C-alpha cells in the first residue's frame, strides 16, 4: 500500500522494511522507526480524534509527549489501553489502534452537536447545571456526564502483563538524551562517575534527530557512552517525578514497542532512582498560539512538522503556511520546502527579522505584521484567514492544508519545579525557567532556555562536568562539541488573536481563552483556581503546549504581568504512567503477604474452609459430609466443645517475651491491671488501654519466672502492641531494665477445651500433676508434650475446662496429632474460628468487634479491672467526663425472642414503639448451642438498667425488625464453675 506523503529518503525510518497496522479497522503501512502518528500522516490520515467536550474534529498536533489531540485506544482485548498518544506510540507489525470519544464514525460524530450548544457549555457548566436536586447525581447526571465526556475505554479485563519495580543508584542522573543530555552524560562519564542517562524516546538524540548534518556527532557520542562501563543509557524511560533527597521516579517501557511482551519479560518497569547529582536536560515544548479555529486538523506545531519531515521522512502537508512569532520557527518552513511542500505563506506579527529576510530570499511569501485570524475547513484544514496584527474583522484568505504554528518555546521545567526550585521569568524568551536549585540538581540546555544544539551541548557538558565534580570526581578533559548556529527563539509576545470562534488555550480539555476570562469574571482569578474552574492544563498533556498561554490570557484579564500570575504548580507525573507500573509485582496474591500457621497443612488435610484474619489464613470450620450447611458444621464443632472436647489452632495470637529485672514494673504501667503481684507459674487476663483511655488490647499474660513474662495479644493487634511496648520502653521509661522480643512465629499454640480436656491433656503431657489442686485454673508450667518441650496453660476462651499447649512452632503438627489420638476415645473434634466466636459470645468474652477502638473498660463491663493505685497508660485520660459518662453504651447480651429469627451484627437497637432513634447496636451475633436460638453481644445505652427488657434489633437495609431481650452478656456458666472444674 502506498504512503503518499512519505519522502523518498532521509530520517530515521527503515524504508527497507514495512510494518502493517490498522486504524479504525483500516489497514495501513509504515516503517520501523515510525510512530503511529508519523505513519498515519504518511498515509494522509489527518483526522484522528474528537475533542473532549465539543467533539470537534482533531488531528495530530505535535510529535511528542505534549500531544493534546491524537489520543487513541491501542491494542485489543485485555491489552486494550485508552488515551495512548499516537505521537509516542512506536509502530509495530499488527498494531491496532482505534479513535476515541466519538459516537458513530470519526468523520460524522453526532455528539458534535455539543459544538452548537457551546454557549451553554463554557467553563463551570457542570458545576452550575448539575447541582440540583442532589439525588439526581448518582442516577442521572453522573451516568450522563460519564457517557458524554471521558475519553477512551478501559478493557475491563485483568491486565495480562507483568510489571516490575526496580531501584537504581548513580552519581549523576541525566534526564533527557538530546544534545545537552548526551554532552552532560559524556562529560560526567569521562570523570569515571556512575551515570544513568534516561531518555523517554526510543531513539536518543532529541532535536539532533532533526539535523542530518549533526548525525556524526550523535553517533559518535552514543558510541563513546556505550564504551564507558559506568554509563547506563536507558531509552524508552520517562522520568516522571523528582522527589525528596535526590530520589526520582521513572518508568521504562520494556516491551510497549512489541505486540506483546516476550516470555519472562515485564511490559514496563518502574524505577526508583537515587542520584547524588541530577542534570535535567529535558528540553522544551513548543507553544501554541490561541486564535479562532486553532484546533482544526491540519494545524500543527511548527517543530512537529519539521520533525515529521526530517526525522520521519513524512510531509505533513502539501501547501503549507507558517504562523510564528520568532525566528527559531522558520527552519520548519525550510524543512517542509526541502521535503517538497509549497510554502503558501509565512505569517508573523513582527515587522521584520533576519529569518524573514532569509525566507523572502528563498522565495516564500512573508506576511510581516500579520496574524492568523481564522481557519477554514471541515474535518481538514483548507485555508486560513489573515489580517494585520492588532486589527480586527476578517482578512485575506490563503489556501493551505497545513498551518504550522509557533508562539515560542516552553522550557520543560517540570522536574526542576518538583525538586523545589522556584521558577524565574525570562523576559527575552517570554518563558519561565528554573530558578536556583533547592536540591542537588542543575538544568542544562533548552529546559533552562539555552537554545540551539551547539549552545545546548556546551551547556550540557558544563553541567555534566560540574555534577560529576560535585559528586566527588576529578575533572576530565573536555569533550568534542557539535558546531551549530543558535536559532533565535525570543518571541514577540503574542498569545492570542481575538475573533469569532473558539480560540483554544488547552486543546485537549476544550478550554478557550474566553473560558479563562469567564473564570476571572466569576472570581476564579488565581491561576490555581482558574485551572480547576476551567480544567485548563488538567489533561493528559498537562498543558505542555498551552498552559502558559492560558496564564497569559488570565494575566491580561487581571491587568497584571504574566510573571506575577505564574503557572500552576507542577506535580508528578510529567507524562501519563500506567497504573500497572506503579503496582509493580504487588498485585493478586502478591498484593500483601499471606501468613500461615505451622499447622496449616494439618488443617488442610482436615478439609478446613479458610477465612482471612488480617493476613493470616485460619480455619473457619471443618465441614463433614453429613453437615447440611456451614452452620451445621459450626454448631457441631461448638457442641463438641461444650459436651466433650475440641481442639483449636491459636498460633496466630501475638506473643511477646517481656524479660528483665523491671519487667513487672513495666507491665504494671502498660496494663490497666496489676502484674507485679502475679505469682510465678500463674497467668492473668490483662487489659491494655491507649493513652487516651480507650481499650487497646487484651490477652493472657503469664509469669514464667521472677523476671520473665509471656505476654499474649489478640491476632489483629500483635504488631501494634509490640510497637506500643517498644515506644514506651524506649522513650517514656528508658530507665527500666527490660527487654522485649516478639516470639509470635517461634511458638505455636493449641487450645484443647471441653469437659474431657483434662483426659486428653493427660494423654499428651508428661511431667505435670494435672489435678485441679496441683494445676488449677490460670496455672502455667513447662512440661513435655508428646515427647517435645512445651508449656502448658490452663486458660479458657470458650468458658469450658480448657488448656493451651505452647510449643516450638516446628513441633506443632506432631503435638496436634498426638492430641487428636489421645482425644479420639473422647470424641475430640477440631473447631475453627466460627465455633470459637460462637463459644466466646455465649461466654460473654469481648473480641475485636467490641474492642473496636471506641470502647472504654467501663463500656465493656471491665471497669473494675482498672487498678486504683499507680500510673498506667490511659489512666488519666480515661477519667475524662465523656468517657466516664454512665449513659455510654454498655456491653449487654441479647437473645432473639423467636429462636428462629436471626439477628445480625450491625443491627441497631430500638425501643419498641419508640421514635426509632438508635439506643445501641449489636456487635457480634451467633446461634447458641447451650440454649438454641440467636444470641448476640451489643453496646446499649443504659445497658445494665435495661437487662430484662425488650428491644427491637433493626436492620433497615434488609427490612428486618427482630424483637430481642436484653440479657447479661455472661450467658453461659456465669459463676465460672466449668472453667474451674
Partner 1 sequence: MLRIPCPHCGPRDEAEFSYRGDATVTRPGPEDGIEAFHGYLYERRNPRGWQVEWWQHGAGCRAFLKVLRHTVTHEIRAVATATEALEVPEA
Q: Residue 784 belongs to what H/E stretch? A: strand 780-785
CA distance 118 to 511: 11
User: Looking at the DSSP assignment, which residues form a beta bridge with residue 277?
Assistant: 172
Stretch that binds partner 1, among 13-21, 240-248, 287-295, 926-934 (CB under 8 A): 240-248
**Residues 877-906, interacting with partner 1 (CB under 8 A):** 877, 879-880
Q: What is the DSSP letter of 796?
A: -
Beta bridge partners of 628: none
Q: How far is the CB of 441 from partner 1 (least distance, A)?
A: 13
> Between residue 694 and residue 733, which ones bind partner 1 under the rule CB under 8 A?
723, 726-727, 730-732
Query: If residue 180 lies in a helix (H) or strand (E), which one and from where to where?
Result: helix 179-190
827 binds partner 1 (CB under 8 A): no
CB of 865 to partner 1, least distance (A): 18
The H or E element containing residue 689 is strand 683-689
Can residue 743 be called a binding residue for partner 1 (CB under 8 A)?
no
Residue with smaller CB distance to partner 1, 276 or 791: 276
Among 24, 488, 691, 707, binds partner 1 (CB under 8 A): 691
Of 32-40, 76-84, 244-252, 811-819, the segment contacting partner 1 by CB under 8 A is 244-252
How many whole angstroms separate alpha carbon 926 and alpha carbon 347? 82
Task: Decide: is 960 part of the binding site for partner 1 (CB under 8 A).
Answer: no
- Residues with Cβ within 8 Å of 324's Cβ and at least 6 positions away in sequence, in order, are 302, 330, 332, 346, 347, 348, 404, 405, 406, 407
Q: Please, which residue, 678 or 740, has the CB nearer to partner 1?
A: 740
Residue 949 touches partner 1, criterion: CB under 8 A = no
> Least distance from C-beta 888 to partner 1, angstroms?
18
**16 touching partner 1, by CB under 8 A:** no
Closest to partner 1 by CB, 274 or 394: 274
For residues 858 and 865, what is the distance between their CA atoms, to the nearest angstrom? 9
Report d(CA 265, CA 256) in Å as an integer: 11
Among 684, 716, 793, residue whose Cα is nearest residue 749: 793
* String marking each residue 575-594 x if it binds partner 1 according to CB under 8 A: --------------------
The region of 174-182, 375-383, 619-627, 871-879 touching partner 1 under the rule CB under 8 A is 871-879
Measured from the CB atom, is 13 or 857 closer to partner 1?
Answer: 857
Q: Which residues, including other chains, have CB under 8 Å from residue 344's CB and lie 6 or more apart?
A: 319, 320, 321, 365, 398, 399, 400
Residue 837 vs 874, nearer CB to partner 1:
874
Q: Which C-beta is closer to partner 1: that of 176 or that of 249?
A: 249
Count of residues engaged in binding partner 1, rule: CB under 8 A: 24
Near partner 1 in 502-531, by CB under 8 A = none
Is 469 an interacting residue with respect to partner 1 (CB under 8 A)? no
CA-closest candidate to residue 468, choices 282, 280, 283, 278: 278
Tell me: does residue 164 bind partner 1 (CB under 8 A).
no
Handedness of CA 867, 871, 876, 877 (dihedral sign): negative
Q: Which three cell numbers stand for residue 66?
A: 505534549
In whole angstroms, how close is the CB of 168 to partner 1 at the nearest point?
13
Distance in angstroms (rounded) separating the CA atoms of residues 243 and 815: 53
Residues in contact with 387: Cβ distance below 8 Å, sequence separation at least 6, in sequence order: 370, 371, 373, 393, 394, 395, 396
94 counts as binding partner 1 under rule CB under 8 A: no
Q: Determine if 243 is a binding residue for partner 1 (CB under 8 A).
A: yes
Which residue in 20, 22, 272, 319 binds partner 1 (CB under 8 A)? 272
Q: How far is CA 790 from CA 703, 706, 754, in A?
A: 15, 19, 21
Cell readout for 780 is 502455667
Q: Is 247 in the site for partner 1 (CB under 8 A)?
A: yes
For partner 1, the closer CB: 275 or 316:
275
Q: Write the binding mask 778 to 807 for partner 1: x where contact by CB under 8 A, - elsewhere.
A: ------------------------------
**C-beta of residue 314 within 8 angstroms of C-beta of residue 42:** yes
Q: Judged by CB, which is closer to partner 1: 116, or 732?
A: 732
According to the binding rule CB under 8 A, does residue 917 interact with partner 1?
A: no
DSSP secondary structure letter of residue 6: B
**Given 612, 871, 885, 898, the residue binding partner 1 (CB under 8 A):** 871
Site string for partner 1, 388-427 (x = CB under 8 A): --------------------------------x-------
Report in angstroms how near the CB of residue 724 gets to partner 1 at its nearest.
10
Site membership for partner 1, residue 245 (CB under 8 A):
yes
Q: Which is nearer to partner 1, 382 or 728 (CB)?
A: 728
- Residue of 128, 147, 274, 624 interacting with partner 1 (CB under 8 A): 274
Q: Is 507 helix (H, G, I), strand (E, B) or coil?
A: coil
SS3 220: helix
Q: Nearest approach, Cβ of 472 to partner 1 (angstroms)?
A: 16
Cα angle 241, 242, 244 (rounded to 5 degrees) comes to 135
Contact 52, 145 (CB under 8 A): no
In degrees rounded to 5, what are phi and psi of residue 293? 80, 20
User: In the chain, how many H helices and how many E strands?
Assistant: 25, 49
For 54, the grid coordinates are 465539543
Nearest distance in Å: CB 243, partner 1: 6
Q: By C-beta, is 20 or 272 nearer to partner 1?
A: 272
Q: Assign 356 to helix, strand or coil.
A: helix
**Closest separation in Å from C-beta 23 to partner 1:** 41
Q: Which of 734, 886, 913, 959 binds partner 1 (CB under 8 A)?
A: 734
Q: Which of 298, 350, 327 is nearest to 56 (CA)?
A: 298
Decide whether 360 or 875 has the Cβ nearer to partner 1: 875
Torsion sign over Cα 501, 505, 507, 508: negative
Shortest distance (Å) from residue 855 CB to partner 1: 18
CA angle 852, 857, 863 (to 5 degrees): 165
Comparison of 60 and 873: residue with beta carbon closer to partner 1: 873
Q: Name which of 244 and 769 has its Cβ closer to partner 1.
A: 244
In whole angstroms, the minimum distance from the beta carbon of 884 to partner 1 comes to 11
Q: Does 739 bind partner 1 (CB under 8 A)?
A: no
Cα–Cα distance for residue pair 923/904, rounded to 1 Å: 8
Tell me how far, at minimum, the Cβ of 881 lies from partner 1, in Å. Answer: 9
Which positions ≥6 away from 20 have C-beta within 8 Å? 27, 28, 29, 93, 94
Give contact residues for partner 1 (rule: CB under 8 A): 243-245, 247, 272, 274, 420, 438, 691-692, 723, 726-727, 730-732, 734, 870-871, 875-877, 879-880
Amino acid at each position: 500500500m502506498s504512503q503518499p506523503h512519505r519522502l523518498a529518503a532521509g530520517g530515521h525510518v527503515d524504508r527497507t522494511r514495512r510494518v502493517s497496522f490498522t486504524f479504525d479497522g483500516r489497514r495501513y503501512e509504515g516503517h520501523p522507526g515510525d510512530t503511529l502518528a508519523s505513519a498515519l500522516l504518511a498515509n494522509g490520515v489527518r483526522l484522528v480524534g474528537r475533542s473532549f467536550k465539543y467533539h470537534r474534529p482533531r488531528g495530530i498536533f505535535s510529535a511528542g509527549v505534549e500531544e493534546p489531540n491524537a489520543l487513541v485506544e491501542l491494542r485489543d482485548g485485555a491489552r486494550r489501553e485508552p488515551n495512548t498518544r499516537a505521537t509516542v506510540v512506536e509502530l509495530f507489525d499488527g498494531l491496532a489502534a482505534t479513535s476515541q470519544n466519538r459516537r458513530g464514525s470519526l468523520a460524522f460524530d453526532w455528539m458534535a452537536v455539543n459544538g452548537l450548544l457551546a454557549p451553554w457549555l463554557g467553563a463551570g457548566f457542570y458545576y452550575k447545571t448539575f447541582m440540583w436536586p442532589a439525588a439526581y447525581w448518582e442516577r442521572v447526571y453522573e451516568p450522563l456526564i460519564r457517557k458524554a465526556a471521558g475519553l477512551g475505554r478501559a478493557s475491563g479485563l485483568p491486565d495480562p502483563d507483568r510489571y516490575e519495580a526496580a531501584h537504581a543508584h548513580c552519581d549523576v542522573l541525566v534526564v533527557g538524551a538530546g544534545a545537552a543530555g548526551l554532552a552532560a552524560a559524556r562529560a560526567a562519564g569521562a570523570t569515571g562517575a556512575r551515570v544513568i542517562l534516561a531518555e523517554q524516546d526510543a531513539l536518543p538524540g532529541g532535536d539532533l534527530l532533526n539535523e542530518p548534518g549533526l548525525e556524526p556527532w550523535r553517533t559518535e557520542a552514543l558510541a563513546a557512552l556505550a564504551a564507558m562501563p559506568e554509563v547506563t543509557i536507558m531509552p524508552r524511560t520517562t522520568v516522571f517525578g523528582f522527589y525528596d533527597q535526590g530520589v526520582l521516579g521513572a518508568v521504562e517501557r520494556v516491551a510497549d514497542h512489541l505486540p506483546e511482551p516476550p516470555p519472562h519479560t515485564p511490559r514496563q518497569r518502574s524505577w526508583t532512582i537515587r542520584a547524588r547529582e541530577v542534570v535535567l536536560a529535558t528540553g522544551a515544548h513548543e507553544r501554541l498560539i490561541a486564535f479562532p479555529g486553532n484546533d482544526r486538523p491540519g494545524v500543527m506545531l511548527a517543530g512537529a512538522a519539521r520533525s515529521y519531515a526530517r526525522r520521519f521522512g513524512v510531509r505533513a502537508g502539501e501547501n503549507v503556511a507558517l504562523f510564528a512569532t520568532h525566528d527559531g520557527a522558520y527552519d520548519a518552513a525550510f524543512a517542509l520546502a526541502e521535503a517538497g511542500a509549497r510554502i503558501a505563506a509565512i505569517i508573523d506579527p513582527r515587522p521584520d527579522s533576519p529569518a524573514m529576510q532569509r525566507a523572502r530570499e528563498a522565495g516564500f511569501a512573508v506576511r510581516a505584521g500579520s496574524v492568523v485570524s481564522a481557519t477554514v475547513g471541515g474535518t481538514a484544514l483548507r485555508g486560513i484567514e489573515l489580517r494585520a496584527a492588532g486589527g480586527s474583522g476578517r482578512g485575506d484568505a490563503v489556501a493551505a492544508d497545513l498551518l504550522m504554528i509557533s508562539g515560542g518555546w516552553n522550557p520543560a521545567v517540570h522536574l526542576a519545579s518538583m525538586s523545589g526550585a522556584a521558577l524565574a521569568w525570562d523576559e527575552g524568551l517570554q518563558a519561565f525557567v528554573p530558578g536556583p536549585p533547592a536540591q542537588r540538581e542543575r538544568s542544562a540546555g533548552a529546559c533552562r532556555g539555552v537554545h540551539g544544539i551547539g549552545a545546548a551541548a556546551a551547556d550540557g557538558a558544563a553541567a555534566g562536568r560540574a555534577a560529576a565534580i560535585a559528586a566527588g570526581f576529578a575533572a576530565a578533559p573536555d569533550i568534542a562539541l557539535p558546531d551549530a548556529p543558535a536559532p533565535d527563539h525570543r518571541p514577540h509576545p503574542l498569545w492570542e488573536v481575538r475573533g469569532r470562534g473558539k480560540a483554544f488555550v488547552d486543546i485537549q480539555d476544550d478550554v478557550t481563552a474566553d473560558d479563562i476570562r469567564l473564570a476571572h469574571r466569576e472570581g476564579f482569578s488565581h491561576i490555581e483556581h482558574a485551572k480547576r474552574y476551567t480544567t485548563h492544563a488538567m489533561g493528559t498533556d498537562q498543558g505542555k503546549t498551552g498552559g502558559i498561554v492560558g496564564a497569559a490570557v488570565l494575566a491580561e484579564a487581571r491587568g497584571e504581568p504574566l510573571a506575577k500570575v505564574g503557572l500552576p504548580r507542577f506535580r508528578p507525573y510529567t507524562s501519563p504512567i500506567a497504573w500497572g507500573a506503579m503496582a509493580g509485582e504487588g498485585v493478586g496474591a502478591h498484593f500483601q503477604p499471606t501468613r500461615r500457621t505451622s499447622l496449616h497443612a494439618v488443617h488442610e488435610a482436615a478439609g478446613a474452609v479458610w477465612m482471612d484474619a488480617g493476613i493470616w489464613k485460619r480455619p473457619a470450620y471443618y465441614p463433614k459430609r453429613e453437615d447440611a450447611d456451614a452452620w451445621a458444621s459450626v454448631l457441631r464443632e461448638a457442641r463438641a466443645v461444650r459436651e466433650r472436647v475440641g481442639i483449636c489452632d491459636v498460633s496466630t495470637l501475638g506473643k511477646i517475651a517481656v524479660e528483665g529485672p523491671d519487667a513487672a514494673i513495666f507491665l504494671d504501667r502498660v496494663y490497666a491491671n496489676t502484674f507485679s503481684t502475679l505469682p510465678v507459674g500463674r497467668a492473668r487476663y490483662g487489659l491494655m488501654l491507649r493513652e487516651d483511655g480507650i481499650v487497646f488490647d487484651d490477652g493472657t499474660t503469664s509469669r514464667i519466672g521472677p523476671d520473665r513474662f509471656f505476654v499474649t495479644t489478640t491476632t489483629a493487634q500483635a504488631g501494634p502492641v509490640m510497637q506500643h511496648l517498644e515506644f514506651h520502653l524506649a522513650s517514656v521509661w528508658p530507665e527500666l531494665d527490660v527487654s522485649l522480643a516478639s516470639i509470635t512465629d517461634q511458638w505455636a499454640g493449641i487450645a484443647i477445651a471441653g469437659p474431657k480436656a483434662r483426659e486428653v491433656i493427660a494423654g499428651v503431657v508428661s511431667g505435670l500433676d494435672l489435678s485441679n489442686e496441683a494445676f488449677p485454673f490460670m496455672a502455667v508450667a513447662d512440661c513435655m508434650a508428646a515427647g517435645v518441650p512445651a508449656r502448658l496453660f490452663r486458660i479458657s476462651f470458650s468458658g469450658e475446662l480448657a488448656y493451651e499447649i505452647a510449643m516450638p512452632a516446628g513441633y506443632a503438627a506432631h503435638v496436634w496429632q498426638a492430641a487428636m489420638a489421645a482425644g479420639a476415645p473422647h470424641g475430640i473434634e477440631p473447631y475453627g474460628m466460627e465455633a470459637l466466636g460462637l463459644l466466646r459470645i455465649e461466654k460473654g468474652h469481648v473480641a475485636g468487634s467490641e474492642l473496636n477502638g471506641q470502647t472504654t473498660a467501663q463500656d465493656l463491663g471491665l471497669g473494675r479491672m482498672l487498678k486504683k493505685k499507680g500510673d498506667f497508660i490511659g489512666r488519666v485520660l480515661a477519667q475524662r467526663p465523656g468517657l466516664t459518662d454512665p449513659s455510654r453504651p454498655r456491653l449487654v447480651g441479647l437473645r432473639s425472642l423467636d429462636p428462629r429469627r436471626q439477628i445480625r451484627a450491625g443491627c441497631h437497637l430500638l425501643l419498641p414503639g419508640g421514635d426509632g432513634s438508635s439506643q445501641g447496636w449489636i456487635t457480634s451475633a451467633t446461634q447458641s448451642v447451650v440454649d438454641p436460638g440467636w444470641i448476640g453481644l451489643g453496646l446499649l445505652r443504659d445497658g445494665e438498667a435495661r437487662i430484662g427488657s425488650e428491644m427491637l434489633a433493626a436492620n433497615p437495609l434488609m427490612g428486618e425488625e427482630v424483637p430481642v431481650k436484653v440479657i447479661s452478656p455472661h450467658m453461659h456458666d456465669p459463676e465460672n464453675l466449668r472453667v474451674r472444674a
